[in-house]
Structure formats: structure tokens, C-alpha cells
Amino acid sequence: MNTLTSTATRGKFGPYGGQFVPEVLMSALDELETAYIEAQGDPLFEAELQGLLHTYVGRPTPLTFAARLSDYLEGPKIYLKREDLAHSGAHKINNALGQALLAQRMGKRQVVAETGAGQHGVGAATACALLGLECVVYMGTVDIARQQPNVYRMQLLGAEVRPVDSGSRTLKDAVNEAIRAWVTNVETTHYLLGSALGPHPYPTLVRNFQNVIGREARGQILEAEGRLPNLLIACVGGGSNAIGLFHPFLADQDVDMVGVEAGGESIASGRHAARFADPQRARVGVLHGTRSFVLQNANGQIMETHSISAGLDYPAVGPEHALLRDQERVSYTYATDDEALAAFHLLAKLEGIIPALESAHAVAEVVKCAPAMPRDAIVIVNLSGRGDKDLDTVMQKSGSQGVRESENPL
Amino acid sequence: MNGTERIANAFPAHRTAFMPYAVLGYPTPQASLEVIETLVAAGADLLELGVPFSDPLADGPTIQAATQRALENGVTLSQCLATVAELRNRDVGTPALLMSYVNPILAYGVRRCVADSVASGVDGFIVPDLPPEEAGELEDACRQHGLALVYLLAPTSSPQRTALVAEKSQGFIYLVSLTGVTGARDSAPPGLAEFVARVRAVAHKPLAVGFGIGTGEQAKAVAQLAEGVIVGSALVEQAGESIERVQELAVELREALNGSEIRT
């Protein structure tokens, strides 16, 4: 389970995945794959990673029974996998730390990364500070404006945040610039890609660094309930927190899984980031080195996306999710901005947990599906990050009025 | 003669080939035709015609801005093909390659794209984000229609990859002179001669060097190493100014190649 896809298939997930990159990067991808395979066979690497995940990140993160939310929805027992409690506030640190250790192992002292919501940027900056690596984070100017606290956080951690003012000025364009920077300094630089996306070996590598989420959750639910859950729910931007939760359960045929994309204003409006929900605008294509579902126009130009959550605001989805959808192993749905916002308030009021707006999409799905489920069913919702970074956005959208009245379920 | 043969024949026996690049639809669809005709009049041996893409991750700021502008002008792959057909109608016989990222080709349909390209007078493709490992369908379609699929090598390419590309590339091999994105640079990249020699040791095809070349002086230096010199961003920048500026630079570049003799 924890090995790379065979090199003979070049990181293919059925018809998805692959390595669609400029030639200059091919050797760096080979180098990364080789370094990772060697690291996997090195007990010291695994020990160092596990040690840091425990003593630095604070893993295992808790699995919290959400008693009041479960009661309120009059549905199943809802558990929250608390990645929001991981050091630096989101699951992103799991992968950032793993890759930073690999960079160190490859003798690369410089790291470039992209960020949307800033959570991966903060994760990368944190890991680089810890290991003494130089870190440059590319971030769209639209995202910089809506995620100011994370920009400052990255700077405090010693990273340089480079604004990206091209295209839609969001995550997609930050990835373009990070890849351009990597191309330019490929021999000395590691590209610390933040989601289960991009060219092979990244989708597999990132998934393997993130599946600690699912491995822990599996053990924790067995301990708490003595059985496996009926349903897993996670939000899907690129899809790293979702694949991290889902992957260790894939062989458990009785465990259903739902990935929740960003429905934005609505699917019909086109202002969304729901790659699986909009066959008019999303087709199989290639973006950023991988073949998957991509929001694009009829001429193959990549579309600008919209989501209230910067971390889901991306036109392509990780290739393994595309395969899991084809196989009908995981089903995919979406939550709109408004639904995510309502779920954000609900979780804060009922459980004392302020979720990231990304994670609020997963909460929105449990709000929708829970009432129809039996009371003795068990659901795990991945709370991929905390919401401190989103307070400005939420204040603008909801206002104090919303907090006092309409958003209060009690 | 098919496209692959026309491209192979485009390299003059007595000097290095001048291979200018233009963005189709930039600065406007109409003006881009004039730019191309100007490049041909200045003595282009082989044309590289860029198909605009929203996310050109191998390109620097100049070509990014130009392709963005072309997209704002509403340029599509079908229009790019129509532009090539129009050039052929105007008796421009210079062999031409389409340079496109892979996604517009996928959206158009790989086989349909190749068939329509043949009909429009395109002779081959360069697809910077499509290494040979991923190119099966396009390679098959190109072979079937006699079009060249040109692959790239970079200074970072391993000996194994160099051998693979040397075997698979059709017409010539595109050597990316430096680790970086497109764009004119002040000086020739160090280590270029060694890189070219490394490829030449295993390749029996013309070698064309691109990325970072923007002046007659640089072209002259590179011409001592390779059968072709590719100039993109510097010409695109002039295209944003005026036809006269394009002509001036194209003539300078072309004349710099007179009397060029490869010293291997």
C-alpha cells in the first residue's frame, strides 16, 4: 500500500496521472522518485518522520465525537478527524514535513512551493524553518488579499512570499510560477507540491505522506466504536486531505466515501470549482503535469474558478480521485459557498470548533446527508484545517447580524 | 514530400537554419500574418508558430503576455490552423511547426488535430509538456500523416533520455539551451557546447538550439554549434512594437547566420 506505482506505468491511475512536464523537469522527477523509494527502504527516514509527526506536529490528531452536531442533525454518530489540531493548523504539514525531509536527503537546500489558502504555504514554511531550508512561496494576489494572516505567518516563519499577478491570480497561477521557478533552479531546488496533484511521483508521494490521517482514524474509530465507519466525508480541492483519509479504507468495501468539491455560487453559474459536477465545463485534460478532470472551455483553455475557500479554488482534481470516481469507489458531490458558510457557523456554535472554509464544505455535506441516515450509523468527517485564517472572509460575508441571528441554530 | 521530409530539408547544407517563433494571433490575428510574412521575407528557414494557451508554464513573461493577449483576441486552435492555411494560400511555402501545449490539442481531439493540420499545411508539432513517454497517440497520428513530432532535450536530460529523444524526435531535436523558461538573456548559457556535444554523440539528426537567444551576436555564437537557431521571445517583443522592428531584428539574426560553420 505504501509503495510507489511501478515506474513502468509512470504513475498512471487508470487513464489519469502521468508526467506531462517540460523535458527539463523529467530528471528532477526521476531523482525525486528514486530518493523517495530509497527513503522508504531506510528505517532511519521513517523513524525521523514519525518522530517529528509525534513530537512536533502533535500526531496522532484526535478523533472527536461531535455529540451536539449528531443530536442536532438527528442522524448518525458524527466523528471529526481533527487535522485542524495538527501543528500549523491543517493536514498540509504532514506532506510538507515529509517532502522537506526528502529535499534534505537529496541535498537540496532551496524549496519552492505554491499556496492557495496559505495553509500549504504555512506548512512548507514551517517545515523549512524546522529543517533550516530556504523557502519561497508563490501565492496569487487575490489569495494574498483574502488570506492575509497566513501571508504574515509565512513571513514570520522566514519564508519569502512572492505575489503572482498573472491569470486568475489564484492557486492555478501560483502553481505556474512555482513550476517556472523550479524549472529555472531545478538542480538546487525542490518543488514542495502541496496536494495530490501534478506529475508523477507527486500524487502518490503526497497521498502516502497524507494517509497517516486515515491510518490513525481507522485505529481510533475501531477503538471508540469497535467497528469501521459507514461513511467518510472530506473536501476535495486537489484532494490530498481526502485521499489521505480515504486511502487506508479503500479495501473496506462497506465503508462509503464522499468527496466534496467547491460548488461556489452555483454549478449553473459556472462560478465554482466542482470538476466532477459540471460536464459542460469539465473534461479530461492536462494541467500542471497530470491528466485528470479539468475545468476548461471548448478550446482547451483552463477556466478561472471560484470558491469562497481559496484552498478549493483550483480547476483540476487529483488523478487518483478521477480513477476512484470511475471505479465508483468514492462518490463526489459539492457544497456551495452559502452551504459551506452555514456549516462553518453551525460547527462553531455546536462544537466550539471553527473549521477552515475548505473543511466546512465537508461539514456541509454531513449536514445534508445525516438526517437520512440511521442513528446507529457512524460518519467520520475530515476537519482538514482550522478557520482562523478565514475570519475576514466570514465577517465580510456574514456580518455581525448573521452571527447573532440567522446563523445561530439554537 | 511529407511534413517530416519538408522539415528535414529545411536545414540548409551550407549554414545554420534561422528558425523564428511567432505567437499566432499576436498582436492581432491580422498583424500576426504580417509578422510571419516578415519573418519569411527576412529569410526564415523554418517557422515555429505558437498556439496560445492559458497556462504556458514553460514560458517567460514575454510569451506569457503575448499569448494572453492572443487569447483575449479570441484565438483558438482552429483559427491557428486557418492562419497556416491562409499563409499557404499566400504562397508562403516555408515549413512550419505548431508549438502548442498539450491541452488545446487534447480538447480539439488528437487525431482530428493532426488530420486538420495536414490539410492546413502544417508540417509538424512541438509540444513542450509532452515527453515521449506520454506522446503515444500524437506520435501515431503524426506518423500516419507524415508529420514531424519534435521532442526537446534539456541540459538536465539524462543519457537514457537523450538516447530516447534522439531516437524518437522527427525532423530535428530541439535543445533547450538552459534550465529555465523562454525569454531573451544577456549571455549564452555556460556549458552549451558540452551539452550540444553530448547530444551529438548519440544523435544523427539536425540539432536546433532555442531559449534565451535574442541578438545577432548570440545567434552567431550558437550557429557554431548547431544546425538551427530558434529565436522566440526577442522577436515576439518586437512584434508587440511594430512590423519594422520585427523586420530589423529578423534580418540581423538571419545575416548573423551567413557563413556559419559548425565546429564539432
Instruction: Supply B4's cell numbers.
Output: 517530416
Q: Which of the four pLDDT bands, split at 50, 70 and 90, describes residue A400?
A: low
Average model confidence (pLDDT) across chain A: 94
Residue of B nearest to A17 (CA): B134
Catalytic (active-site) positions of B? 48, 59
Beta-strand relationship, A16-17 and A12-13: antiparallel
Of B55, B76, B180, Cβ closest to residue A299: B76
Spell out the CATH class of B15-257. Answer: alpha beta
Q: Residue A276 carries which DSSP code?
A: T
A347-362: per-residue pLDDT in tens?
Answer: 999 999 999 999 999 9
Tell me the C-alpha distance between A122 and B109, whole Å.
Answer: 40
Give mean pLDDT, residues B217-241: 96
pLDDT at A167: 82
Per the annotation, the verdict on A92 as an active-site residue is yes
Give mean pLDDT, residues A108-126: 95
Give mean pLDDT, residues B234-260: 96
Tell me the C-alpha distance between B48 and B69, whole Å.
Answer: 18
ipTM of this predicted structure: 0.96
What sign does the CA torsion over B216, B221, B225, B230 have? Answer: negative
Q: Is B181 in Cβ contact with A183 (below 8 Å)?
A: yes
pLDDT beyond 90 at A406 = no
B63-122: per-residue pLDDT in tens?
Answer: 999 999 999 999 999 999 999 999 999 999 999 999 999 999 999 999 999 999 999 999
Q: Is B106 in Cβ contact with A300 (below 8 Å)?
A: yes
Per the annotation, the verdict on A368 as an active-site residue is no
Q: How far is CA A91 from CA A114, B145, B240, in A?
A: 16, 50, 46
Tell me the C-alpha distance between B246 and A167, whole Å.
Answer: 27
User: Torsions phi, psi of B49, nearest 5?
Assistant: -110, 120
pLDDT at B125: 98
Q: Is B131 in Cβ contact with A26 (below 8 Å)?
A: yes
Tell me the C-alpha distance between B20 and B22, whole Å.
Answer: 7
SS3 of B49, please? Answer: strand
| Residue pair A89/A388 in contact by the 8 Å Cβ criterion | yes
A161-187: per-residue pLDDT in tens?
Answer: 999 998 888 899 999 999 999 999 998
B160 and chain A: CB distance < 8 Å anywhere?
A: no
pLDDT at A151: 95
Q: How far is CA A74 from CA A288, A408, B220, in A?
A: 43, 17, 78
- Cα atoms in the Cβ-side hemisphere of radius 13 Å centred on B260: 29
A73-109: per-residue pLDDT in tens?
Answer: 999 999 999 999 999 999 999 999 999 999 999 999 9
Identify the helix (H) or strand (E) that includes residue B58: none
pLDDT at A234: 98
Tell me the C-alpha distance between B211 and B219, whole Å.
Answer: 11
Q: Find cell 530539408 and name the residue.
A: B9
The full DSSP string for A149-204 is HHHHHHHHTTPEEEEE-STTSSHHHHHHHHHHHHHHTTTTEEE---SS-SSTTHHH
pLDDT beyond 90 at A300 = yes
B103 and chain A: CB distance < 8 Å anywhere?
A: yes
pLDDT at A253: 97
Q: Which of the four pLDDT bands, split at 50, 70 and 90, describes residue A147?
A: confident
pLDDT at A5: 47
User: Is A397 buried (19+), middle (13-18) or exposed (0-12) by CB count in 10 A?
Assistant: middle
pLDDT beyond 90 at B156 = yes
Of B56, B106, B179, Cβ closest to residue A24: B179
CB pairs under 8 A between A and B: 121
Give mean pLDDT, residues B154-181: 95
Task: Give the residue extent of every domain in chain B.
Answer: 15-257
A201-210: per-residue pLDDT in tens?
Answer: 999 999 999 9
- Cα atoms in the Cβ-side hemisphere of radius 13 Å centred on A402: 13
Tell me the C-alpha distance between A81 and A231, whole Å.
Answer: 13
Tell me the C-alpha distance between B230 and B17, whole Å.
Answer: 9
| Residue pair B133/A11 in contact by the 8 Å Cβ criterion | no
Residue of A nearest to B179 (CA): A184
Distance from CA of A345 to the nearest CA of B (A): 36
pLDDT beyond 70 at A9 = no
Per the annotation, the verdict on A74 as an active-site residue is no
Q: Which of the four pLDDT bands, split at 50, 70 and 90, describes residue B187?
A: confident
Q: Is B156 in Cβ contact with A186 (below 8 Å)?
A: yes
pLDDT beyond 80 at B264 = no
Q: Which long-range CB contacts under 8 A does B112-115 form with residues at least 24 apart?
A: B113/B77, B113/B141, B114/B138, B114/B141, B114/B142, B114/B144, B114/B145, B114/B147, B115/B141, B115/B145
Q: Which residue, among A5, A16, A20, would best test binding to B if mutated, counting the most B CBs under 10 Å from its CB?
A: A20
Give mean pLDDT, residues A219-244: 98
pLDDT at A410: 53
B76 and chain A: CB distance < 8 Å anywhere?
A: yes
Q: Is B152 in Cβ contact with A23 (below 8 Å)?
A: yes
pLDDT at B186: 84
Q: Is A26 in Cβ contact with B156 (below 8 Å)?
A: yes
Residue of A nearest to B79 (CA): A299
A176 and chain B: CB distance < 8 Å anywhere?
A: yes
pLDDT at A264: 98
Q: How far is CA B167 from CA B150, B160, B182, in A?
A: 11, 11, 25
A292 and chain B: CB distance < 8 Å anywhere?
A: no
Q: Which of the four pLDDT bands, split at 50, 70 and 90, describes residue B185?
A: confident
Per the model's pLDDT, the better-predicted residue between B180 and B107 turns out to be B107
Identify the helix (H) or strand (E) that includes residue A282: strand A282-287
pLDDT beyond 90 at B251 = yes
Q: Is A186 in Cβ contact with B179 (below 8 Å)?
A: yes
pLDDT at A74: 97
Give mean pLDDT, residues A12-29: 96
pLDDT at B261: 79
pLDDT beyond 70 at B35 = yes
